[in-house]
Amino acid sequence: MTRKLLVLLFLVSWSIQSFSQCNYKNITFSSGELVEYKVYYKLGFLWFNAAKVVFEISDTIINNQKAYKFDSYGTTLPNYDWIYKVRDSFQSIVDSATLRPIQFLRDTREGNYIVNNEYWFDYSSKSIYSIIENSDTPKYSDTLNIEDCTQDVLTAIYVCRNLDITNLNYNDTIKLNMLIDNKIHKLYLRYQGKENTELEEGGVYRCRKFTILLVEGTIFSGGENLSVWISDDKAKVPIRVEAEILVGSIVAQLKSLVGNKWPLNSVTEDNLKE
């Protein structure tokens, strides 16, 4: 379940325009930012605080160039481990000047199922070199063609936080090329307008809402059964994610945010109706 939630959060990558050019300038986040989400599983009228997910940014050097290192960790809470233990780790290294992915690592352990995937992006040859291994498949190497502005699921979040979304109209749809499980999927998103969002941890935030339109052939069955609320401010942080799954639903809410470059756009009683 936590892996699905991580993917859902990564799909928060709401690509807000056509990816005709792939170099981006970061204006929304800083090294040292750390975001934590509280994850709930809902079955009928019952709610379970089942897991947590953390996203962290740091500086690094790769190939003698400055880069950002994005890390994300997902884990079930101890009182849920006995049902289905999850320990997931994702890491992306990106060019700090262009936010283009350079390396992406996935190390996930969910129950008895293990995945270890590694990807390297070579833009000179327009290729992605991968090493794939999981509990069902022995380790093998592969090469994929880089389609226009392909993003790994973790880099996509930070890239899309730097896109201009001010001119979107209600029901606008957007496409995104996403690297998931050694395949490049074409995903679509739909803008649903502005909406205030209240969190259990406290606070009401001005947000822009998106639903994910998943096409046939992705890891989901299709339809718009996932919603995400993005803070309507300079930080553009995912505030809340809701998704229906085969049994029940998942809700992720922002629990804490530190090291952010810009403050979140919270709503006070005085401006709640503005």
- pTM here is 0.85
- Flag whether 113 is in a domain: yes
CA distance readout (Å), 162 to 17, 33, 54, 155: 11, 15, 20, 11
Number of domains in the chain: 1
For residue 270, being part of any structural domain is answered with no
Helix (H, G, I), strand (E, B) or coil at 222: coil
Structural domain contains residue 264: no
Task: Say how far residue 1 (Cα) sits from the centre of its chain.
Answer: 15
Query: For residue 115, is it within any domain?
Result: yes
Could you tell me if residue 267 is inside a domain?
Answer: no
Residue 232 lies in a domain: yes
- pLDDT score at 48: 83
Q: Is residue 167 part of a domain?
A: yes
The encoded tokens of residue 174 equal 């957007």
Residue 49: domain span = 2-258
Nearest-CA neighbor of 28 among 153, 159, 120?
Answer: 159
**pLDDT the model gives residue 231:** 94
Q: What does each of the 274 residues of the chain score in pLDDT, given as a tens digit? A: 545 555 555 444 433 333 335 678 899 999 999 999 999 887 777 788 888 999 999 999 998 999 999 999 999 898 888 877 889 999 999 999 999 999 999 998 888 889 999 999 999 999 999 999 999 889 999 999 988 788 898 998 898 788 778 888 998 877 778 888 898 888 777 889 999 999 887 889 999 998 876 544 333 445 556 788 999 999 999 999 887 766 677 889 999 999 999 999 887 544 434 4
In a domain, 269, yes or no: no
